[in-house]
Amino acid sequence: MYIVNSYTLAVVLCFITMICWGSWGNTQKMAAKSWRYELFYWDYVLGMVLFSALLGFTLGSYGEEGRSFLADLTQGTEDSFLWILIGGIIFNASNILLSASISLAGMSVAFPLGVGIALVLGVIVNYLGVPSGNPLLLFGGVSLIGIAIVSNGIASGKMSNGKENRSQNTKGILIALVAGVLMSLFYRFVVMGMDVENFTSPSPGKLTPYSALFVFSIGVLLSNFLFNTLVMRFPFVGEKVSYRSYFQANARNHITGMLGGCIWGLGTGLSYIASGQAGPAISYALGQGAPMIAALWGVFIWKEFRNASRTVNMLLSIMFVCFIVGLALIIEAGK
């Protein structure tokens, strides 16, 4: 399988992860006018599973280092599979809530709040599990990103217009907070099923990045039959939707959703691959810089802060500066 052997390359892959994790939500926005997010999410999950298998049979089976994709899958223990499946289930619950929050509060609000909180708590959880990097720089960078989160939350509150919009925005923010707490936990469970310290000669029974991503995506798919079915029947916003509506959709809607899953799968796969050199805490932290990418999309492409006041623009500027400086400190922490 393909293995990263330098910290610099690992950081580059983490930046690609950040772009992917911060950009997949655009596919939901692209389909939003005619396609409910509950239905979109089925295609998103299918795209994730298909891409994880593709990555396994290509990069995961390339080269002579480590175990190949299929060999790694067949030697994994029940414990390793269970931990990673649990990680997929927790992620799925959090991601469905995040998708609901995007529908309610907008991309530039939901991502910075939900994923930002996941970053702060997730770094703590992953660092305690596998300590790596300079803790002063690492948590200093996380603190700055925390300031960015608060700035974005205040800015979004000032943009709410009317009682109905304000209520919907508040509901979206609360859902994003819950999503962020859940999302902070999933990566640690995945790492518990992997040997992140040695991909070249991994411990027997432990999985490596490519097989871990595939098992993780299966956990997401299986749990989706419960979580997403419940959300379809009891939606956060709008009328309930049926599976009949899913099968009546055109090919464009299905392809858009699968594209979103592929984008997310690419980012996650690269994050797992980079974790061997960067360590789980730093790899997770850099990837979860995605809110800055999502906010850029929301502000400049989707115009979610159109006609904002001078105060709101100042808060957005603070958010971007804090994110950039915070990410720089996190990178330095791993050297």
More confident residue, 303 or 220: 220
DSSP state of 194: B
pLDDT (0 to 100) of residue 164: 47
Within a domain: 311: no
Distance CA 126, CA 279 (A): 9
Report the domain count for the chain. Answer: 1
pLDDT band for 193, please (50, 70, 90 cuts).
Answer: very high
Within a domain: 211: yes
CA atoms within 13 A on the CB side of 132: 23
Within a domain: 154: no
pLDDT (0 to 100) of residue 163: 47
DSSP letters along 268-282, please? HHHHHHHHHHH-HHH
pLDDT (0 to 100) of residue 173: 84
Give the containing element (helix H, strand E) for 32. none
Within a domain: 193: yes
Within a domain: 317: no
Return the closest-CA partner of residue 155 out of 300, 310, 321, 331.
310
Structural domain boundaries enclosing 182: 7-133+164-305
Within a domain: 143: no
pLDDT higher than 70, residue 102: yes
Q: pLDDT by residue (tens digit) across 30-58?
A: 886 778 888 999 999 999 999 999 999 99
Give the containing element (helix H, strand E) for 323. helix 310-333
Q: pLDDT by residue (tens digit) across 142-156?
A: 889 888 877 877 787
pLDDT band for 165, please (50, 70, 90 cuts).
Answer: low
User: Measured over all CA atoms, what is the biggest interatomic distance in the chain, rounded to whole angstroms?
Assistant: 61
Within a domain: 260: yes
pLDDT band for 205, please (50, 70, 90 cuts).
Answer: very high
pLDDT (0 to 100) of residue 160: 60
Within a domain: 151: no
Distance CA 255, CA 259 (A): 6
